[in-house]
Structures are given as C-alpha cells and as structure tokens.
C-alpha cells in the first residue's frame, strides 16, 4: 500500500507571520547584543546599562502598551516570545523584560485610571524600568500577610515598611508597592500604590547576592514615612489583593517562558557539544545512551513550550487561564532543572566550570521553582481547580 501523507493540524507552536518576524528580531538581538555580555554580567552581578537602553530601542520593554501611549501595541503572546528568546541567551535579561511587561505594564493597563496611564505608560515605553513589590520577610507564599502599612493623610498616603526580593529593584524608577491600610480587614485592606524612586521616604536597600540570574537585581525596599499622592493608588483602595492575584497569573506564564528559553539554550549547547566531543574514536552523540537522553529532553521541552504557549493564547483570547498558568509554570521549571542538569552532565568536567555556559544556566534554572509562586503553591492552585 502506498504511503499516505497526513495533513497535520498546526500545533500550538505555530506562529503567525508577524509573530515570526518579532521572534526573529529578538533572537538576532539576543545573539548579537546580549550573548557577548553574559559572562561579565553574571560575574559582576549587574546588567550592562547600555543594554537596557537597547532593549527599549528594540521595543520589548513596552510590548502591550498601546501605540497611543508610545508602546509597541503588541499582544501578551509577543511578550512571551520576547522573554523566551532572551532567556535562551540570558535568563537575567529575560526576567527584566518579563517583570516589565507581564507584571508592571499589565497591572497598569488593567487597573490604572486614565490619568495613571497617561502619566506612566509613555515613560515605561521609553526608558523607565518598573518593579513589582509584594513580598516581605513574613509574606512569601502567604502573600497577603503584609506588615507594610499605609495611612491616609489628606491627599496623600504615608507608607511604612520593608519589601524583600524585589526583581528589577536596582534598575527601576517606578514601583508597584502593596501595603495595607487596615490590618483588621485582612486581605481586604491591601492597596496597591505607584511609588517613584524619588518620592520622600523611599529608598532601595540591599541588593541580594544570589545563586543564579545574578545580573538580575533582587533588592529590598525601605519605606520610612514615604509620601504617595492619592492619585497614585492603582485600582481602588482596599482592592490591592485583586491587582496582585490577577496580575501574578500572567506573571507565571512569563516565568514559564523564561524556563523554556533557558532550557532551549542548555539543550542547544548540549547538542552541539555532544557532536564535537569524541570518546572511543567517535562523537559521544553517536552513543545510544546520550541520544536517548537528548531525545527525552527535547520531548519534555516541546511539552513545556506547548503548555506555555497555550496559556498565553488563552489569555490573549480572554478565556480563563488560571489552571493553565499554574501548570505551565510548575512543569516548565521542573523541566528546566532536568535539562540544565543533563547539559552539565554531558559536558562532563567542563560543564562544572564557568568557562562553559551550561553551569550558569543550571544555576539560573532553580529560581523557576521559587519565585512568583513556589511549585507547592502551584500544585495547591491546580488541586483546588480540579477538585472544585
């Protein structure tokens, strides 16, 4: 019987023409502008300042901001593609772009008044880095156990407290800060505020010395009678918990994109190396044990990409995506840990040195199981949804 050629249904990884053009532009930028700086940025735990300006010029720091506010007028899926491509080369740059788009800009677009959008969206599209300040020493997975306080004084709120683990803290000039105006009201007392770096009583404190994504800054924020205009409340007073919950859902898809990007980078390095490294007079890629491990890694990576892309497509279509966001984050972060570990293993002794890139990606991967909701919290979310 003659073979029949099956017509395959386009997979979720199928991209439209404009998405391909956008992805390729970010990929070229990552290879040409980011890759040469990765080792030094990791070594010195600092993003090269000119690179941040170049990211704004590329248009990836304001992807969903409408063109009327100076942004790119893109979709959430474009942000996912940008984070993936940048993270393939350096997950530190990937998370800089991720927080800017999926958390900060996303929150302003959804919850900001017209006045807030007019004042801040053009800046976020044209040079201002944003940060998202929810976590504290006593509130991690229990995100709403906040000790930061906000008191009303006329046309201002006065914020007092300390925030920890704030990504982009060193680079940012605009911060979404969560504080409670009424501790007795529990989560219903939480309010989101837009705080500028120059506001009286606001200070960026200690920068953490981390295992991975070292170039990405993670800082504490100090609020000592920090005065914030009432006009800088994001959303409604007492509704900050909704801003946080709904924004973090998108953020988890962004972390999924970061994880598939770094997994791709590690797997690409491993494939190239196994073709070049010779043992017993042949490339180690010829050995079945190596080939099967690479095949398994490629399969898990493709599954991760499908889950991340699916969650992003659902979000852009205005359909529920809470469960899918949690699933793609936990799965992609687990896969990233396995693939980067395999890459180090296949590189052998070289993989354990900083002369080769897989060691860094291995360190970078661990954070995926921790920030923007730990893996256990994602499992709790998934279980709650499937069990009703």
280, part of any domain: yes
Strands 190-196 and 218-229: unpaired
Q: Quote the number of domains for the chain.
A: 3
Q: Is 166 among the domain residues?
A: yes
Same domain, 64 and 194: no
Distance of CA 309 to the CA centre of its chain: 14
The Cα 152–Cα 157 span in angstroms is 5
Q: Which of 269, 270, 335 is nearest to 308 (CA)?
A: 335
* 53 and 123 in a common domain: yes
Residue 10 lies in a domain: no
CA distance 330 to 353: 28
Structure tokens at 288: 């079945």
Residue 224 annotated to the active site: no
pTM listed for this prediction: 0.94
Q: Is residue 143 domain-shared with residue 229, that is, in the same domain?
A: yes
The answer to whether 333 and 371 are in contact (CB under 8 A) is no
pLDDT by 10s per residue, the chain, length 388: 344 444 444 445 679 999 999 999 999 999 999 999 999 999 999 999 999 999 999 999 999 999 999 999 999 999 999 999 999 999 999 999 999 999 999 999 999 999 999 999 999 999 999 999 999 998 877 867 899 999 999 999 999 999 999 999 999 999 999 999 998 888 899 999 999 999 999 999 999 999 999 999 999 999 999 999 999 999 999 999 999 999 999 999 999 999 999 999 999 999 999 999 999 999 999 999 999 999 999 999 999 999 999 999 999 999 999 999 999 999 999 999 999 999 999 999 999 999 999 999 999 999 999 999 999 999 999 999 999 8
Q: What are phi and psi of 164, to 5 degrees?
A: -125, 160
Question: Residue 345 has which token pair?
Answer: 């293993």
On whether residue 210 sits in a domain, the answer given is: yes
Domain range for residue 54?
Answer: 17-129
List the catalytic residue out of 85, 300, 359, 372: 372
CB atoms within 10 A of CB 325: 31
Q: Cα separation of 381 and 329, whole Å?
A: 12
List the structure tokens of 328: 């793609």
């Amino acid at each position: 019987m003659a073979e029949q050629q099956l017509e395959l249904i386009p997979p979720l990884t199928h991209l439209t023409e404009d998405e391909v053009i956008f992805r390729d532009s970010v990929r070229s930028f990552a290879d040409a502008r980011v890759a040469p700086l990765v080792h030094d940025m990791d070594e010195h735990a600092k993003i090269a300042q000119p690179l941040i300006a170049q990211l704004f010029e590329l248009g990836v720091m304001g992807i969903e901001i409408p063109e009327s506010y100076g942004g790119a007028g893109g979709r959430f899926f474009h942000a996912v593609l940008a984070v993936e491509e940048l993270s393939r080369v350096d997950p530190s740059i990937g998370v800089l772009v991720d927080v800017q788009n999926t958390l900060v800009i996303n929150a302003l677009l959804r919850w900001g008044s017209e006045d807030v959008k007019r004042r801040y969206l053009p800046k976020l599209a044209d040079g201002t880095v944003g940060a998202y300040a929810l976590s504290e020493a006593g509130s991690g997975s229990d995100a709403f156990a906040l000790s930061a306080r906000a008191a009303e004084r006329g046309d201002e709120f006065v914020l007092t407290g300390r925030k920890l683990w704030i990504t982009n803290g060193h680079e940012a000039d605009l911060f979404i800060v969560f504080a409670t105006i009424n501790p007795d009201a529990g989560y219903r007392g939480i309010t989101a505020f837009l705080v500028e770096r120059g506001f009286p009583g606001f200070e960026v404190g200690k920068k953490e010395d981390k295992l991975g994504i070292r170039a990405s800054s993670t800082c504490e924020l100090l609020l000592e009678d920090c005065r914030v205009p009432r006009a800088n409340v994001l959303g409604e007073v007492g509704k900050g918990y909704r801003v946080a919950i709904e924004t973090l859902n998108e953020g988890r898809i962004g972390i999924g994109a970061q994880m598939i990007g770094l997994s791709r980078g590690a797997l690409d390095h491993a494939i190239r190396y196994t073709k070049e490294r010779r043992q017993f007079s042949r490339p180690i890629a010829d050995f079945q044990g190596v080939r099967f491990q690479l095949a398994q890694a490629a399969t898990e990576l493709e599954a991760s990409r499908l889950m991340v892309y699916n969650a992003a497509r659902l979000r852009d279509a205005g359909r529920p995506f809470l469960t899918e966001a949690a699933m793609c984050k936990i799965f992609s972060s687990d896969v990233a840990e396995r693939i980067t570990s395999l890459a180090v293993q296949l590189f052998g002794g070289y993989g354990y040195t900083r002369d080769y890139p897989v060691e860094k990606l291995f360190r970078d991967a661990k954070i995926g199981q921790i920030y923007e909701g730990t893996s256990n919290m994602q499992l709790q979310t998934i279980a709650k949804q499937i069990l009703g």
